[in-house]
Amino acid sequence: MSYALIKNIHLAFAMLTTIGFCVRGVWMMTESSMLQKKLVKVLPHIVDTTLLISAVTLVVMSGQYPWVAAWVGMKIALLVAYVVLGTFALKRGKNKQIRTVFFAVSILILLALFAVAGIKPGF
């Protein structure tokens, strides 16, 4: 497969996961029963797995490993923070107010992740 194809898959699934997270965040804040639907619980895992596989493939194809390209390491650190805080936003937060704060912080981290990917700073 070509690098361009994998990159386009990665970008598309990055958008899908972002849209999905935002929709689920709104549903969390509005206490929608949609969050309990089986597809809503399963689909994010499929999207995120595809996103992760495409990311690893791009790293291997380009040779831009975290210890070679600092921006890749920064993306990984931001991704871990986003995943952890995102779980508190959608599930583990003790109440809706706390989950909403975690949701907002998760969105900020996600924006930072996109910024790092877009500008690829040298650190």
**CA 119 – CA 86 distance, rounded (Å):** 24
Taking CA atoms, 66 is separated from 3, 10, 101, in Å, by: 18, 18, 30
pLDDT, residue 122, reads 62
Q: Is the dihedral of CA 13, 18, 24, 27 positive or negative?
A: negative
The whole-model pTM stands at 0.87
Q: Does position 16 have pLDDT exceeding 80, yes or no?
A: yes
Which tens digit of pLDDT belongs to each residue from 73-95? 899 999 999 999 999 999 999 99
pLDDT of residue 5: 96
**Which pLDDT score is estimated for 29?**
95
Residues in the chain, total: 123
pLDDT of 45-60, one tens digit each? 999 999 999 999 999 9
